Amino acid sequence: MSTILKDIQNSFVSIIKGLRITAINWSFTRPCVTELYPEQKPVLPEAYRGMPALPVDFETHRSECIACGACARMCPEQVITVVLDKTDPKDRKPSEFSIDISRCMFCGLCMEVCPKNCLKPARTFELACYSREQMVYNMNKLNELGGELPKEPEAQESESQP
């Protein structure tokens, strides 16, 4: 009988302790930390590392990729496919570029090794889809995700000077 009474006493103590924590945190002076996703999109930190994407130059509207294949060779998951466009030997560019994001582990090695610094982390996290085929991002999709390549700081400075 004494054990039952002790259990009841412990239960009450636990409830009071829990309510105390609730009362401390339930205050109008404390900022709300709950994000109402998907109605409100979270603000991604500046250093957010998303999937690799291929932004395009804002003037030429094409990626600066020279199809060297360094990213494909470096990728530990071997999910990058790069094919060199051989139509103009003086203009190196890929005829095909794709990343199978279903096996990408977002390690960022491909971005680090790129000699043209043209692979950038996409600022997106909504990658859910209904098939594996949809997870293979071709060049157009990677360009779309990457958006426009930001101008180099020197170029911005020279433009702002009279």
What does the binding site for ligand SF4 look like in residue numbers (CB under 6 A)? 52, 65-71, 74-77, 79-80, 82, 99, 104-110, 114-116, 118-119
CB 59 within 8 A of CB 85: no
In the complex, minimum distance from the CB of residue 32 to ligand SF4, in angstroms, rounded to a whole number: 34
Spatial neighbors of 151 by CB under 8 A, at least 6 apart, are: 58, 159
β-strand partners of 96: 83
In the complex, minimum distance from the CB of residue 97 to ligand SF4, in angstroms, rounded to a whole number: 7
Question: Smaller CB distance to ligand SF4: residue 77 or 144?
Answer: 77
Question: Smaller CB distance to ligand SF4: residue 12 or 106?
Answer: 106
In the complex, minimum distance from the CB of residue 107 to ligand SF4, in angstroms, rounded to a whole number: 4
Whole-angstrom Cα distance, residue 148 to residue 72? 22
Cα three-residue angle 89-94-98, rounded to 5 degrees: 165
Question: Smaller CB distance to ligand SF4: residue 80 or 149?
Answer: 80
In the complex, minimum distance from the CB of residue 51 to ligand SF4, in angstroms, rounded to a whole number: 7
Start-end of H helices in 26-138: 70-74, 109-113
Question: Smaller CB distance to ligand SF4: residue 3 or 110?
Answer: 110
Give me the torsion for CA of 91, 123, 121, 140, rounded to 10°.
-30
